Structure 1
Amino acid sequence: MASPQEIQAILRDDRKLHEIAKAAFDAVDSDHSGFIDEPELKQVMCSVASDIGMDQPTDSDVRDVLRDLDQNHDGRISLEEFKVLIRQVLELMANQ
């Protein structure tokens, strides 16, 4: 796991942040459409919940996350929209 200093360095480096977001995005975008749709988002949310021992997300939970990330309201998440989530996660990790 990266240290808070390493995470801060990533947050200051747009190229590195983009690389990390792109790798995570590609792992979630199982149909390689260039977007994350609701089923793909649900799959990754369920996987993460299982990994950390949390309850499985409901369909409503998935829709809420999709709505929060989907800045242009097209019903799917683009790489740029996904980068917002990755930045937020890294910021939380850096402040632990």
Structure 2
Amino acid sequence: MGADADGNGYIDKSEFHSHVQKIALQLGKDPPTEKEISDMMVDLDQNEDGQLSMDEFKEYVKVTFKELGL
């Protein structure tokens, strides 16, 4: 299942939280705190609508992969 669990084309805070936690665990990393996830969401949510569009989410993926050296 992808990050957009309900398939509406956007990733809300709950979906983003679940996705980030899952990825951290799969990578053997400590999961980020609720505050860290909220801060990431604010940084990524460029139009400030409280959810991530696919373009906003793609930026998260791009940055994450770059940080991991992938």
Q: TM class by shorter-chain length?
A: 0.7 to 0.9
More helix by percentage: 1
Higher alpha-carbon Rg = 1
Relative contact order higher in (CA < 8 Å, ≥ 6 apart): 1
Q: Would you say how many aligned residue pairs link Structure 1 and Structure 2? A: 69
Q: Percent identity of the aligned residues? A: 33
TM-score, normalised relative to structure 2:
0.81
More strand by percentage: 2
Given candidates 64, 68, 73, the residue that maps to 2:43 is 68
- Give unmatched runs, 5+ long, in structure 1: 1-25
TM-score, normalised relative to structure 1:
0.62
- Give unmatched runs, 5+ long, in structure 2: none
CA displacement, residues 70-92 of structure 1 (integer Å, 9 cap, x when unaligned): 00001100011112223334444
Instruction: Output the aligned Cα RMSD.
Output: 1.8
